Structure 1
C-alpha cells in the first residue's frame, strides 16, 4: 500500500471557531448592524437625493433588494454544502478555482477593512451633537474615535454571542426610532396630503437613476455576512438561509419606507433641495418639528450607536475572513488561531484593531477630513468591493453546481444566480461610470479611477500568491477553500490507499 499523504494539522485551538453559539436572531443582529439602518437612512438616503436629484430612492431599494434576493437563492444553496467563515473566498475557490478564490479573499479583506475602519471617521461627527446636547462637550473627533476603537477592540476578543447581545440592544432601539420617525413624517405630510410620487416607476426611470441604484446597493452591504457566522451558528443549514432572506427583506422594506416618508414630509419636489442643504440633519430636523426635542436627542444618540454597532459587526466579519485564510495557511498561521477561552479569532481581531488605530493616528497627525476623506471615501469604496464580490460569487455558484452535479433545482443552481449576475454586472458597470458622482469629486480626479482600480489590483495580487503557493507549497494550495475540515479531509486516504475525494478534488 502506498504511503499515506499527510499534512501538518493545526492545533485544536486554531482550526475551529466556537460552535453553536448563534441562533437566527443573533445572526440577523450581526447582519442588520453591519447594514447600519439609521446611518443609511440619515446619511445614504439624504446623500442620494441630494447628489442625484432623483426621487425614486424607495423603488431603487426595492429593485436592489429583489436582485439580492435572487442572489441569495444560489448563495444559501451553496451555504448548505460549503460551511466556511471565509464565505465569498470559499465559494469562489470551490466554484472558479483556488487562484480566483484567493483573489476574492484579497478583495474581501480590502473591502471589509475599508468599511470598518472608515466608520472611525464618522463616529466623531455622529457623537458630537449628542455630547454637546447632553454634556456641553465638544471633544475632537479622534478622541471619540479612540474611545470607540477601544470598545470594539475589547468586544472583538470576547465570545461572539456577547457581541450579539450588545448588537441586539443597540439595533432594536435603532429600528424603533426609525419607525417612530417614519410615522411622524407620515403624520405631517407637506401640503397636507400624503404623496405617492416617489413610489411610481416614472420617479426612477430618469437620468441619474443608475447612480441611485448604486447608492441603494451600498445600503445593503452586510446582508451577505450571515454565511460568515455559519461555523458558529446553531443548525447552520437552517440559520443561514433564514437570516439571509429575512435580512434582505427587512433592509429593503425599511429603507424603502423611510426614504418614501422623507419625500412625504418635505414634498417630492423639495426633497433634493432640502437634503442638499441639511444633509444628515434632515431627518433630525424633521423629527424636531414633528416629535419634539426629546425625540431628536434619542435619535442622535442612536445614530451614534448605529455607527458603533456597524463597527462591531464589520470588525467581527473581517476578523473571521482573516481567520479562514490563516487556518488554511493562505495568511500566516497565526491568523488561524482562536482564543482558547472565548473561541474568537484572536489574531485576526488584534490585527484589525491595530490597523484601525494606525489609520486614526494617521488622519489625526495629518489633519485630514475624517468624514469626507475617511468615512465617505472608504465607505463608497468598500461597498463597491462587496458588489464585485457578490457578482463574482453568483458566477461561482453556477460553476460549482455545474461541476459537482449535486442534486439541486435548476432555479437554485442556475436561473436565480444567473439573473442576479446579469443585474449585478449592470449595476457595477453603472457604478464605474458614475464613480466621480459617488465620491463627490470632479470627473478628472485621480480618485475617480484609483478607488475602483484598487480591487482588480488586489485580486491580481491574490491570484499570483495562489500560483506561488501551488508551486512552492502544494499542501497549502490543496487546502484552499475547504475550511475547518481541510486538514482531516486531505489527510484521510480513500479505499485501497487511493486519495480521498477531497484530496482528489484539491488536485484539480
Structure 2
C-alpha cells in the first residue's frame, strides 16, 4: 500500500469518512433533482410522450435497478476511486479500462462545464427577478466556480455537510408542491391516465425515455467514494440502492403531479405555449400554493445547481486522481493533500478545465443554456450511458473469471446482461436523435458525439504506452486502492 509519495504528499484518500447517508447526499446532489424537475422534465414532456412520461421514469428505474444489481455485486470486491474505469479495467482488461477512464474523465468534466452555463443563466435570471439587477451569466458561473474549487480542494466531509443541507431543502419544496397538487385533485381530478398504454405510446416515447435516463445521471457515482466510505463492501451497495430508489420514486411522483397539475390532455399544449419551459414549475407553484413557494423554488433551483456542480466536481477530481495514481496520466495527479487527504491536484485541474471552457463560451458570445449546457450535458449523458453498458459487460467478465465469487447467476450474469442490452439500445437511440436532444445542427451534432471515439482512441493509446513501459502497472490497472 502506497501512502507517501514524497514532499509530504500522499496517495491515500480520507479513509472511513463517509457513511451511507453522506454518500446518498452526494449521489442525489449529482442527480440534481430540482434542476431536473424544473429544467429537464418539462422539455421531456414537450418533446417526448407528454402525459405518459411518468411511466417511462419507471421503465428507466427498472433498467437501472438491473444495472445496480451487478454494479453493487462487483462493488463488494472492487474498492477504487475510479468508478467505471476501475470496474471496466477489472472486468474487461487494461486496454478497455484505459479507454473507459478517458471517456469517463471527459464525460464528468464536460457535464460540469455545461452545468456552469445553466447555473449562470439561472443565477442571472433569479437575481434580475428578485432585485432588478442585471449581470452577465458568466459572472455567476465564475463565482460558483470559485466556491466549488474551494470546497473541492478541502476534505470530503465538508462537502458532504454542505450538500446535505441543500438536498433536504430542495426535496422539501417539491414535496410541498406535490402534496398541494394531489390534495387539490390537480386540474381535472386524480387519475392514472399517465400509466395507460395510450399515453405511454403517444408522441415520441424514445425521446421521452432518453430524458428519463438523463435525469438519473449521477446515481452511478456512489462507487467513486468507496475508498472514503466506512465499510465500503456494505456502504456502497446500500447507498446505491437507496439513491436510485429515492430518485426514481421522487421523480415518478413529482412528474405525475406536474401532469395532473397542468391537466393530462393540456400539459403539452401548455408547455408549447410557454416561452421558457423552465418556468413551468414556477407557474404550477403559483397556481397551487402561492408566490412564497415559487420564490423558494427559484432560489433553491440555484442551490440545486450549485449542489450538482459540487458533486460532479468531486467525481471529476477523483477520476483525475485515480487515473493518475494508476499511471495512465501524470502521477502527480494521484497525490492527495497532506492535511485534507483530498485529491487536491485533480480538483485544481478540474477547476482549470471548467474555467477555460467557460471563458471560451463567454468570449464567443454563446448561449449558456441552448449551447453550453444543452450540447455538453447531452454529450456527457451519452458517454455515461455507454459507460454503464460497458460496465454491465465488465461485471459479467469479472465474475466469469472468478466463479468462486458468484453469489447468484441472476445478480452476476442475467441482470447485467439485461441492463447492458437495454443501455446499449438507449445509447444508440441517443445517437440517432442527438440533434433533437441538443438542438444543434446535424454537423455540430456529429462534431460533438465524435468526441466519444476520439476519447476512446486517446485512452487506448495511453493504456498501450503504459503496457509497453510498465507492464506490471498495466496489469494492476483498477486494482490499486491506496
Q: 1:169-188 maps to which residues of 2 (within 5 A)?
A: 169-188=165-184
**1:63 to 2:66 alignment:** no
Q: 1:501 matched to which residue of 2?
A: none
Question: Offset of 1:455 from its aligned partner?
Answer: 1.0
> Does structure 1 retain, via aligned residues, the 8 Å contact 2:3–2:12?
no
Structure with higher Rg: it is: 1
Q: Give distance in 1, aligned partners of 2:142 and 2:34.
A: 22
Determine the structure 2 residue equivalent to 1:390: 388
1:331 aligns with one of 319, 329, 332: 329
Could you list the per-position Cα deviations for residues 102-127 of structure 1 after superposition, in whole angstroms to 9, with x for gaps in the alignment? Answer: 10001101111111111110112222
Q: 1:190 offset after TM fit, Å?
A: 5.1
Q: 1:416 aligned to 2:415?
A: yes
TM-score, normalized by length of structure 2? 0.96
Distance in 1, matches of 2:48 and 2:201, equals 13
Alpha-carbon shift at residue 207 of structure 1 (Å):
5.2
Correspondence for 1:310: 308
Q: Which residue of 2 aligns with 1:301?
A: 299
Cα distance in 1, alignment partners of residues 202 and 454 from structure 2: 34
CA distance in 2, matches of 1:145, 1:415: 44
Checking the alignment, whether the CA contact within 8 Å between 2:3 and 2:11 is kept in structure 1 is no
Q: Distance in 2 between matches of 1:450 and 1:474?
A: 35
In structure 2, runs of 5+ residues without a counterpart are: none
Partner Cα separation in structure 1 for residue 129 and residue 477 of structure 2: 52
Aligned twin of 1:158: 154
Task: Give the drift of 1:191.
Answer: 4.4
Helix, strand or coil at the partner of 1:298: helix
Determine whether 1:349 maps to 2:344: no
Q: CA deviation at 1:131?
A: 1.8
Determine the structure 2 residue equivalent to 1:494: none
**Mapping for residues 101-500 of structure 1, pairs under 5 Å:** 101-189=97-185, 191-206=187-202, 208-278=204-274, 279-408=277-406, 409-442=408-441, 445-484=442-481
Q: What SS class does the counterpart of residue 273 from structure 2 fall into?
A: helix
Q: What CA distance in whole angstroms lies between the structure 2 residues aligned with 1:426 and 1:137?
A: 46
- Give the deviation of 1:221 after TM superposition: 0.4
C-alpha distance in 1, partners of 2:371/2:402? 45
CA RMSD of aligned residues (A): 1.8
Secondary structure at 1:272 match in 2: helix
Distance of 1:8 and 1:16 partners within structure 2: 6
SS in structure 2 at match of 1:119: helix
* TM-score, L = length of structure 1: 0.91
C-alpha separation between the residues in 1 aligned to 2:44 and 2:10?
44
CA contact (8 A) 1:15 1:484 kept: no
Distance 1:184 1:126 in 2: 25
Distance (Å, rounded) in 2 between the aligned partners of 1:304 and 1:160: 22
What is the CA deviation profile of residues 263-297 of structure 1, one whole-angstrom value per residue up to 9, with x for unaligned ones? 10111121112223330001101111221111111
CA contact (8 A) 1:130 1:297 kept: no
1:43 Cα offset (Å): 1.1
CA contact under 8 A between 1:129 and 1:300: conserved in structure 2?
no
Please tell me whether the aligned partners of residues 152 and 315 of structure 1 are also in contact (alpha carbons under 8 angstroms): yes
Secondary structure of residue in 2 paired with 1:230 = helix
Q: CA deviation at 1:479?
A: 2.9
Aligned twin of 1:492 = none
Report the more deviating stretch, 409-418 or 46-55.
Answer: 46-55
Q: Secondary structure at the match of 2:81?
A: coil
Match of 1:502 in 2: none
Report SS of the residue matched to 1:156.
Answer: helix
SS at match of 1:340: coil
Deviation at 1:53, TM superposition (A): 4.6
Measured after TM superposition, the shift of residue 406 of structure 1 is 2.5
1:84 and 1:483 in contact (8 A); partners too: yes
Counterpart CA distance in 1 for 2:75 and 2:9 is 24
How many residues end up aligned between the 2 structures? 478
